[in-house]
Amino acid sequence: MHSQKPQKIDLNAEYPCPCRRRGRLIPIVLTDAMGCDRCQKLFVVEENGYVLEQVATSYPQKPAWRWVGNRWIVAQSKLKQSYLYIALAAILVLLFGWLPSALRSPNSANILIWTIVAVIVAILPAFMVWLTNRH
């Protein structure tokens, strides 16, 4: 059984295509790129040789993978991780700061408005996390 530790990608070796189309990645001569013999997609090696990134894609964020010895795993970007922390911080600020002060307000109509605003502000970071984690 292979470990989950990422291994350095050898530009002279052949690998299976990370797009799961049964193709093989073949090195492109005189470049730091590889191409799939089946789906014709191009890939470059990034981050000191540990991450394979797809070239010329229309996604807002380029798909990237790490080689773990027998298969590719999706490389998590730092952007995805930071959105999670932003969402958690926004929810905590709402729960412990904003909502108690809104509940102390004497006007009952004000409470409804503040609750709706708090729910909307809590949903926005959760929506950002969902957008960055969908495939």
pLDDT in tens, 92-103: 777 777 767 766
Q: How many CA atoms lie within 13 A of 55 on its CB side?
A: 12
The verdict on pTM exceeding 0.75 is no
For the chain, the structural domain boundaries read 15-74, 78-133
CA distance 35 to 26: 5
Q: How many CA atoms lie within 13 A of 114 on its CB side?
A: 17
Structure tokens at 116: 């709706």
pLDDT in tens, 5-35: 888 888 888 899 998 778 899 988 888 889 9
Cβ distance 9 to 45 under 8 Å? yes
Structure tokens at 124: 């926005």
